[in-house]
Amino acid sequence: MIQMPPAAPPATRVRYCQIDSDQAGQRVDNFLIRELGGVPKTLVYRILRKGEVRVNKGRVKPEYRLQAGDEVRIPPVQTASKSEVTVDARSADTIEIPILFEDNALLVVNKPSGLAVHGGSGLSFGLIELLRRQRPDEKYLELAHRLDRETSGVLLLAKSRKALMSLHTQLRERHTEKHYLALLCGRLRKTREINAALRKNTLQSGERVVRVDATEGRAALSRFKPITQYAGVTYADVEILTGRTHQIRVHAQHAGLPLAGDAKYGERACNQRLRSFGLKRLFLHASELHLRHPLSAEPLCFRAPLAHDLQRVLDRLQCESLPAGPTET
């Protein structure tokens, strides 16, 4: 798990940014969210509405698309509270992000568990802010997709806007193939497809959850394939044919085979049993991603080995026996 670095003071001076060709074409609100990593989106829209952000000395609306040569005035904002953390030069050098592949268009990393992909929701930094800090000469670096904070594995970043647009098109039009490794509470005896629409919900407590909703949900399809059976649990490959928030976790719960270590959608008794085998987090790892290179269209396949902490759990399961768990019906 990633240890959070100490806090740094907030920005205190106005900054001016000159937009280059790689940055041109994006909305100013998205540009600010990137530049002010860790700042709540509500604050970004507030400083735009109040006219504190200026483009070529004039006010702009959030949907304004930046042009090459534009000068953007960014006011000083509070980027960290006492309870939050941010990246400083020293701590940025101590957090290592394993690189699986890199060229002039792509950066592919093996994201560690415990590190959010971007700041927000009480965190003032994430993987993207960390990499930008470690690579100050990189003119453009953007996430092409996302993984949950607890999920480890293959993560794509684009090094130009052209590459990002190509990756987004492939992901949106399902021209990619994404596989995850998961430990399911229960027995999955054969390959099973879960076709269940998903909808985001907010509980009265303010917690955000995703539920199966055939009426108002967005289409979601996952394919679960068993790899190894252990006592009461199944080690499985999961291919997602759509990319919805918490898709694997909610589909697994819907199938009666919740993910091991899942505190939000999982089964408490199963999670408690697996703690004795060393499982301390969600057992979900983005293991494999197939796509075409965003500039050359060359077929690519990226693989990330199972995280060491999860492999140790499997090794212990192989040597010992769990009490019988729920069985797929």
The Cα–Cα gap between 180 and 304 comes to 10
Residue 7 in domain: no
The Cα–Cα gap between 62 and 49 comes to 8
pTM as predicted:
0.74
Nearest of 302, 300, 303, 294 to residue 142 by alpha carbon = 294
Position 207 confidence tier, pLDDT thresholds 50, 70, 90: confident
List, for residues 37-68, the tens digit of each pLDDT value.
Answer: 667 788 899 899 999 999 999 999 999 999 88
Residue 101 in domain: no
The reported pLDDT for the residue numbered 100 is: 97
Looking at the structure, tell me whether residues 180 and 292 fall in a common domain. Answer: yes
Residue 145 in domain: no
Residue 182 in domain: yes
Name the least confident of 142-146, 153-157, 289-293: 142-146
Domain boundaries, position 62 = 13-75
> Domains in the chain: how many in total?
2
Residue 263 reports pLDDT greater than 90: yes
Residue 324 in domain: no
The reported pLDDT for the residue numbered 310 is: 96
Residue 177 reports pLDDT greater than 90: yes
Residue 30 in domain: yes
Name the least confident of 3-12, 24-33, 230-239, 243-252: 3-12
The one-letter amino acid code at 137 reads: D
**Single residue among 30, 59, 75 that ends a domain in this structure:** 75
Query: Residue 323 has which token pair?
Result: 């009490």
The reported pLDDT for the residue numbered 34 is: 76
Instruction: Compute the radius of gyration of the chain from its Cα atoms.
Output: 21
Residue 290 reports pLDDT greater than 80: yes
Looking at the structure, tell me whether residues 67 and 188 fall in a common domain. Answer: no
- CATH number of the domain where residue 63 is located: 3.10.290.10
Residue 323 reports pLDDT greater than 90: no
**Single residue among 48, 75, 102 that ends a domain in this structure:** 75
Looking at the structure, tell me whether residues 57 and 179 fall in a common domain. Answer: no
Give the end-to-end CA distance of the chain in Å, rounded to a whole number: 35
Residue 287 in domain: yes
Active site residues: 148
Residue 329 reports pLDDT greater than 80: no
**Single residue among 75, 94, 129 that ends a domain in this structure:** 75
- CATH number of the domain where residue 287 is located: 3.30.2350.10
Query: Residue 208 has which token pair?
Result: 């955000």
Looking at the structure, tell me whether residues 184 and 306 fall in a common domain. Answer: yes
Residue 114 in domain: no
The reported pLDDT for the residue numbered 79 is: 52
